Amino acid sequence: MVDRFRFGVNFLEAASGGQWADKCRHAEALGYDVLLVPDHLGWPAPFPSLVAAAQATTRPRVGTFVLNVGFWNPVLLARDIATTDLLTGGRLEVGLGTGYVRAEFDDARIPFGTPGGRVDHLEHTVRELDRLLTDPSHSPRPEQRPRPQLLLGGNGNRMLRLSARHADIAAFTGAEQAAGAPDGTLRLLDADQLDERVAKHREYTRAQGTDPELNILVQHVLITDDRAAAAPALQPYAPHLSAEQCSRVPTLLCGTVEQIADQLRAHRERYGFSYVTVLEPAMEPMALVIAELRRSEP
């Protein structure tokens, strides 16, 4: 059975209360299933933004995409998750990642540590959240049982194994740290590299006997009547890839509304991506694709 598509939008811009509510209601009207907030300095704070998003809407779930666990103590985080799940009526999805931008750690006066150390902290956080949020004596208790859905985002083998063991949703960034560049500089994987990462994750889920939903973060959506002519416009997002390679990666979508809908179906078939997240600037063009898919896959 083919998994039904879900679509999320990751909000990047802070706003006043009224403006935020209007933006969230607009996303709901456009057909988005999940309203998301990342965890970067200089951007909206996740938990208050999600509570406000839930208060302004009725249907979409809300979620973090993703929390930088290096900023969080697991016990305090469990309190915030449980409270937010209660205040949003059990609509919360909890996305977690290691954090990858060294400058943000420096600004927060938090040690950046090694990649392995950051994964260690994430694994400890996941285990503590599982322990605390499923404990009937924990106060406050989340509304969802046994706990809110957990999304884990990453690319390396340790992250994929962790995701296979613990995640309800496995999020693929479709990118890796650029070799020789400052920490936090990512470059997109080509289609074959992403294929290999998904295959590795499937290997781990088979060993664990788990079957998480698969998510992909789309970096750009370009609607055009001439896909071939527009392909070079994608290259600034992946200058190390050719225009032809850019036209095939799941993190960049280009073509007519119908062609992009076909791309997403093909990506679901090839990789298993049924949950698709776009960044806020792509909210309007992606809504046209969502409408097309809803007409053909109600």
Q: Is residue 225 part of a domain?
A: no
205/162 Cα distance (integer angstroms): 10
> Of residues 7 and 243, which shows the higher confidence score?
7
Q: Is residue 64 part of a domain?
A: yes
User: Residue 31: pLDDT band by 50, 70, 90 thresholds?
Assistant: very high
* pLDDT at 269 exceeding the cut of 80: yes
Q: Is residue 244 part of a domain?
A: no
Q: Is residue 140 part of a domain?
A: yes
pLDDT attached to residue 263: 97
What share of the chain has pLDDT > 70, as a percent? 100
Answer for the pair 42, 34: CB distance below 8 angstroms, yes or no.
no
48/20 Cα distance (integer angstroms): 11
User: Residue 1: pLDDT band by 50, 70, 90 thresholds?
Assistant: low
pLDDT attached to residue 298: 72
User: Residue 178: pLDDT band by 50, 70, 90 thresholds?
Assistant: confident
Give 272-294 pLDDT, tens digit per residue: 999 999 999 999 999 999 999 99
Task: Give the global pTM.
Answer: 0.96
Q: Is residue 67 part of a domain?
A: yes
Answer for the pair 10, 277: CB distance below 8 angstroms, yes or no.
yes
Give 183-227 pLDDT, tens digit per residue: 778 899 999 999 999 999 999 999 999 999 999 999 999 999 999
Checking DSSP bridges between strand 149-154 and strand 252-255, what pairing results, if any?
Answer: unpaired
Domain range spanning residue 148? 6-219+257-280
236/232 Cα distance (integer angstroms): 8
Tokens of 178: 């650029």
pLDDT attached to residue 108: 96
Q: Is residue 226 part of a domain?
A: no
pLDDT attached to residue 271: 97
CATH number of domain containing 75: 3.20.20.30
Q: Is residue 27 part of a domain?
A: yes
Give 60-103 pLDDT, tens digit per residue: 999 999 999 999 999 999 999 999 999 999 999 999 999 999 99
Q: Is residue 295 part of a domain?
A: no
User: Residue 267: pLDDT band by 50, 70, 90 thresholds?
Assistant: very high
Residue for token pair 């340790």: 158
* pLDDT at 297 exceeding the cut of 90: no
User: Residue 154: pLDDT band by 50, 70, 90 thresholds?
Assistant: confident
Backbone phi and psi for residue 275, each to the nearest 5 degrees, phi listed first? -110, 115
pLDDT attached to residue 37: 98
Number of domains in the chain: 1
